Structure 1
Amino acid sequence: MGEVVRRRPIIAGRERGPGPGRYALPPTIGYINHDYTKPSSPAYSFHSRMSSNMVSVDSSPGPQYHVDAKMTRFGRDGTPSYSMLGRKKKTADTFQTPGPGAYSPEKAPPLNLHHKPPSYTMAFRTRYRSVDPVPAPNRYTLPNLFGSHIPHKAASASFTMSARRKAGGPSEDLSMTPGPGRYNSTEPSVYLNRQPSFSLQSRCNIPTDATRKPGPGTHSPEKVTAHLPRAPSFSMGVRHSEFVTPLIVDVLD
């Protein structure tokens, strides 16, 4: 007789949840509905079959191009080429190159801070003057410095004496002299620093609207957690597994 194998009952808690075959993951082959979390390789397609009639389809010109012999795969050949030409005839317009004796470098002006020795010339004899044309010091006439008629000289204030007024003028009758109220005084704030000026404004009315304002008991500052510290809060968690051994405590009556 064979050995009897005892099968233990399967725990119901282990049979919860689907198996691996129940999950439907996107494919990783092709580009239709490809898994966006995986890299995809380039996809290629098959072209249509080419025609086998090469005579009528092929339109290439063939080896009929004429390539210059001086053209290489690196460009045109850069070797110099020479030819024999006839001698040019001398004409009046032909430029004649001057010889070394035609140049005078000593006559060139000093350029680029070049040093040049001093050069002297012999001047003609000075003639004796029979009449000295230079005037004497007393022959000069300088403008008068009195008054304000010299435009390029600094002048002091100049005063003049006016004619006497007619009889009965302010000099004789002091009642004709203007008093202090006749002069127009300039506001000091025009040419001096202006001081602040104040004015009396109308009285402000106390707002007496009928809007209802909340009292101190309406506000709940303890519920503000945006910028203030918040006390820890607890919640009821999930039910523990039924496989956990319960805590048994002997209660003494």
Structure 2
Amino acid sequence: MDGPWVGTWRPHPRRGPILAEFSTPGPKYWIPGTTGHVSHDPTRDKAPAYTFRGTKGLVAESCSPGPRYYIHPSITKIGKHVPPTALVTGRPKTKSEVTPGPSDYSTEKADKHVYSTAPLHSMVFRHKLTDALQTPGPGTYTLPRLLGPNTAYTHANPCYSMRWKSMYNSCFQDLAKTPGPAAFSKVELDVYKKRAPKYTM
């Protein structure tokens, strides 16, 4: 007899869930969970999972100067930071001066600016005319011309000049003053015709 077991029967591993262990309709309707990473419900979105690591080990060499070189927080890169404070000082001395009183002012002239008053008109004599204000009369000016070219402010039309009749090819031309045929030199035939060949002996 080997162990507490009787005969050849031995316990075997469980093949699946047992119905008696559940108060639900049974393992057939098992719904996967929505928490964790393993066996998550495939119909639901899975949130990202993060891992927690341990603390870092001590560094062999520290860059800190140590508590011996502790710098006060009020010391900045531009100097010591001093918060604004109120200074307790004595009252400044004021020099007493003699100021004018109410009777030294005249406010009657300001009534027309403060209260509504009727319009006032002052009557004075006519000013004497000086020689500088005497302007010239109409006969002093001359009007510019309106005819011909180069007018002042009007548009000038085209101008044409008239001259005598030309004597060229007219009956009054004196043909005796023109040069005759003998006045011109003889022109070589080679100038206006085909030049003939020349031979030398």
Scaled by the length of structure 1, what TM-score is found?
0.26
Flag the structure with larger Rg.
Answer: 2
